[in-house]
Amino acid sequence: MPAQPVAPSERSMNAANDPTPFVITAAFVVAALIFPVVAAMSLLRRVPQSAESDPLEPPRVLPPPLPFGKVSVGLCQPLDLLPVALIFSAFSFLVISSLASPPSLDRELAASDLVMNIGFQIFIAATVLGYMTRRAAVVDWLGLRWTAWPKVFVIAPASVFTMWLVFGVLQACGYMQWMESLGAETIQESVKLLQTTEDPMVLWLMGLAAVLVAPLCEELLFRGFLYPVAKKFTGPWLAACSTALFFAAAHGNLSALLPLFLFGLLLVWIYERTGSLWAPIAVHFCFNSATVTVQMAARYFNIPLDAAP
């Protein structure tokens, strides 16, 4: 059966004990601080060449590069740190402010919230697209001339299966019970709407946002833009961690923070392995589509589902 809305008294009690606002805020802060701190550390870590060293040998920089990697940082410039800061600030402000005053579950408000969310994602993605395409064509910047694109029919299902396996392991280890004991919400608002809303417009908007808007806009933003800039100035390892943490925190749910962080790392790894944004887009599309399909099947066929990220 679909999950029932929480009673007002229970909701207020959970909200009072919920550590979500604090942890999500801390996650944003950590993800943001990685950029200036590590950029400064990388300068200090450069080992100066001695008189006896080979003049043709470049300075050593830690941490070492990935043993693989096809995501180019050639287009990234120091000026890109300004839009990165603006994007961090915009997402942080919106998510933290929404956690401070949770939106009503009223159907009309839910529909308007979804429209605003979709519009915001499209606006940010379009702005980044316009900003970067002044330097290079989109197909070159994002590696869209990917001749091995049929591999997504293997990569995407395998990635979804891997993430479901991770969710199963977390569930078996008592992760959700731990989240409940902390007072955190174990179901994302988007999933809750899929389970409870009776408004067909909300269902259509949720399907549009999850299946089309999120895979395209979020991958363009997080993997296509933020990750290469972070990789340019902090190195691939911390770039992957910072952008994955930012990606997870931007969803505003404490229970989903760890699973989405791991999902973000997986998407970065796939992007580096393939060199094409088509691959993480396909994985994100497949993952969200599977989630929506499962929730709709559970809703209309009265299949009980345990709380999941």
Question: pLDDT tens digit string along 86-115?
Answer: 999 999 999 999 888 755 544 455 678 888
The mean pLDDT of 232-254, rounded to a whole number, is 93
Q: Residues 94, 120: contact at Cβ < 8 Å?
A: yes
Region 132-152 average pLDDT: 93
Please tell me whether the peptide bond between 63 and the residue prior to it is cis, using omega within 30 degrees of 0: yes
Alpha helices in the chain (DSSP H): 8-17, 20-45, 81-100, 107-132, 138-141, 152-172, 175-182, 189-196, 200-208, 227-234, 236-249, 254-274, 278-300
Q: What is the pLDDT of residue 12?
A: 42
Average pLDDT over residues 163-169: 95
Query: Residue 302 carries which DSSP code?
Result: T
CB 243 within 8 A of CB 222: yes
Would the pLDDT of 64 be above 80? no
Cα(279)–Cα(219) distance, integer angstroms: 10
* Contacts by residues 43-50 (CB-CB < 8 Å, ≥ 24 positions apart): none
Q: What one-character DSSP code corresponds to residue 232?
A: H
- Tens of pLDDT, residue by residue over 267-277, are 999 999 999 99
Measured distance CA(74)–CA(71) in Å, rounded: 9
Q: Is the pLDDT of residue 14 over 70?
A: no
